[in-house]
Structure 1
């Protein structure tokens, strides 16, 4: 067992209305009036009201190289990651020097040394902190990150783990690409970061009565034959989105069985779960999850609200939903929750949570 003690989030700049973003980005994607009209339709049907972007809107027209975009990912991403970590550690009441394990994840930029190395000095982490940078899990990595930090803490019950995710999706926009996948991506994805502090069961912050749920277990699911559904094509111009219209069908086919398997391992059933922390992937993802798990509008309200306010933040998305859930809902003591997200592979990661019953 481990305990999720605190979540910190960070967003760059101010919230831009969806229309302003489309008006700026649209001409960079296509000169074809029909494709621009398609982008406008996607924008209006997306459910996104506002998004935060790493750069001022007027600077995207000059962003013409992968190298420049990646340099900005490193500089801006490190700043956002630091903000999220500081917030999470402050809320947890834990000093940076006490962190034993640091897992960093992103899929919107690359660097060596990775951003987590820069965080050691910026945050005041110990030089012997165990670091594990991750690339390639995509949107699923927020959930997978919690699961992998939990796995570490099961073997190190006195330790502190810190998960940090940063995604600057706007830096991956592909100029001159008016494919449907790129138009959808341009209408849905935003920029942001998140950090989560977890502790092992023997750590003082893991005692019963502390705010935050226990992590009871997780399940990883990889669906063969779906590699072309979601991911990146790596081009000279950077990361080009690979996004299939069939992705919701994959979720609809597999999710109910995977959730049932996770719950059965803990002698639970679907009816025992009262809180659903669902990756804010978009309207069709929400519909697929709701249909597979027989959820109503209330079950997905936090996810939908988060998506409307900031868009899809890739791996940071489900962590923002988690932060909003802890802030808004205050799940009932003794209740169970499932946190879930999807990513390239196609894969899913499910995490079982439990809020302590009142003593």
Structure 2
């Protein structure tokens, strides 16, 4: 079934634009959850016993005030020592299922739906590896119908929430009236390396634990069976893979630590900034829209320098990225879930008006920038 999008004539028919969806898929609900103690940056430095002034500066100048983290337990000497990889994988499983289940339930409540209404679940995580995937564990945990469709997206990193949204929006368009959910659950505490190096200091200063879920439904004959809010329509996606920077963000095996470890190249903000215009202009190409026509920007809370680079290169204001910066301040970088935390704040503000447009943007390993165009 193919349905032309109901847009003003001057905008054009996005159903004929590359990357547009064949039917009108709407965002109809959102929910988030965090777990573990809430800890400030100065408190974390004290807990970890960090005295190196260079490392302390990275933490204290991150624009992050507090995060939720589940730290290693205190040993008999009162110290917190690095956890072996097996313990970290167990931590990831426990935290991702616990947070993910609560975020999903919050999302369904916001949607006005129940677990029995769910027909498709796509789970995203990059902070641990599971087989069977997180989707299977969530279905068992919550008693969701075992015939529910499911997909797991693993290892794509901070950009993966929009990769999942692209996939699930397509599923929704092919199944009008049926409810689907994207669930991003990132237990970043399960990916920490406590070795005192500057490499890990950058990572440890930035990430927090969090999960977020987004409900989607395409308009169709059965769409009125559940009382759902009329959220923004998902119109189009575009992306860029910056292959020359493919190793600039990675999570790979550290033979010295005998475990996985994150690496973030200091040049990442500049790489992202330099390509932000390219991908946004591609996203808007053929729509008749300019950047100035976009009323709402939901950008991944990748870090202070990343946000600054996007603001400068796209000509945005601090107001445009208020939720991006606010999520970074209150939760740190919660990886693939970050932009959904921002969307929840925008929805709670209730400032978006019918006909207004928004751009969603995430960045991650590859290096990758993903974007989506939505309309209220």
Offset, 1:329:
4.9
- Aligned pair count reads 347
Do structure 1's residue 123 and structure 2's residue 150 form an aligned pair? no
* 2:129 alignment partner, SS class: coil
Do structure 1's residue 212 and structure 2's residue 231 form an aligned pair? yes
Do structure 1's residue 194 and structure 2's residue 212 form an aligned pair? yes
Query: Is the contact between residue 172 and residue 238 of structure 1 (CA under 8 Å) also seen in structure 2?
Result: no
* 2:70 alignment partner, SS class: coil
* 1:275 alignment partner, SS class: strand
Change (3 A) 1:191 1:208: closer
CA distance in 2, matches of 1:228, 1:218: 24
Q: Map 1:81-96; keep pairs closer than 5 Å.
A: 81-96=100-115
Q: Which moved more, 1:218-227 or 1:229-238?
A: 229-238
Q: Map 1:339-354; keep pairs closer than 5 Å.
A: 339-354=360-375
Selected match of 1:175 from 171, 187, 194: 194
Corresponding residue for residue 266 of structure 1: 287
Q: Which moved more, 1:196-205 or 1:239-248?
A: 196-205
Change (3 A) 1:169 1:26: farther
Selected match of 1:40 from 56, 80, 86: 56
* TM-score normalized by the length of structure 1: 0.91
CA distance in 2, matches of 1:67, 1:61: 17
After superposition, the C-alpha distances for 1:263-310 in whole angstroms (9 at most, x for unaligned) are 123221111101000101111111111011100111111111111011
* 1:299 alignment partner, SS class: coil
CA distance in 1, matches of 2:117, 2:279: 36
Corresponding residue for residue 283 of structure 1: 304
CA distance in 1, matches of 2:134, 2:66: 27
Which 4+ residue blocks in structure 1 deviate beyond 4 angstroms? 55-60, 205-209
Offset, 1:328:
2.2
Q: Which runs of 5+ in 1 are unaligned?
A: 28-32
Q: Which moved more, 1:328-337 or 1:104-113?
A: 328-337
CA distance in 1, matches of 2:73, 2:347: 32
CA distance in 2, matches of 1:299, 1:258: 18
CA distance in 1, matches of 2:130, 2:49: 29
* 1:218 alignment partner, SS class: strand
Change (3 A) 1:94 1:209: closer
Selected match of 1:17 from 37, 40, 48: 40
* 1:128 alignment partner, SS class: coil
Change (3 A) 1:57 1:194: farther
Corresponding residue for residue 2 of structure 1: 25
CA distance in 2, matches of 1:290, 1:277: 12
Q: Which moved more, 1:94-103 or 1:2-11?
A: 94-103
Q: Which protein has the bigger helix share?
A: 1
* 2:69 alignment partner, SS class: coil
CA distance in 2, matches of 1:288, 1:337: 19
Query: Is the contact between residue 199 and residue 206 of structure 1 (CA under 8 Å) also seen in structure 2?
Result: no
CA distance in 2, matches of 1:205, 1:260: 36
CA distance in 1, matches of 2:167, 2:286: 18
After superposition, the C-alpha distances for 1:95-147 in whole angstroms (9 at most, x for unaligned) are 21222211111010111111210111222322111111111110001222222
Q: Which moved more, 1:328-337 or 1:100-109?
A: 328-337
CA distance in 2, matches of 1:222, 1:299: 25
Question: RMSD of the alignment, in Å?
Answer: 2.0
Corresponding residue for residue 30 of structure 1: none
Q: Which moved more, 1:234-243 or 1:261-270?
A: 234-243
* TM-score normalized by the length of structure 2: 0.87
Query: Is the contact between residue 72 and residue 83 of structure 2 (CA under 8 Å) also seen in structure 1?
Result: no
CA distance in 2, matches of 1:26, 1:190: 19
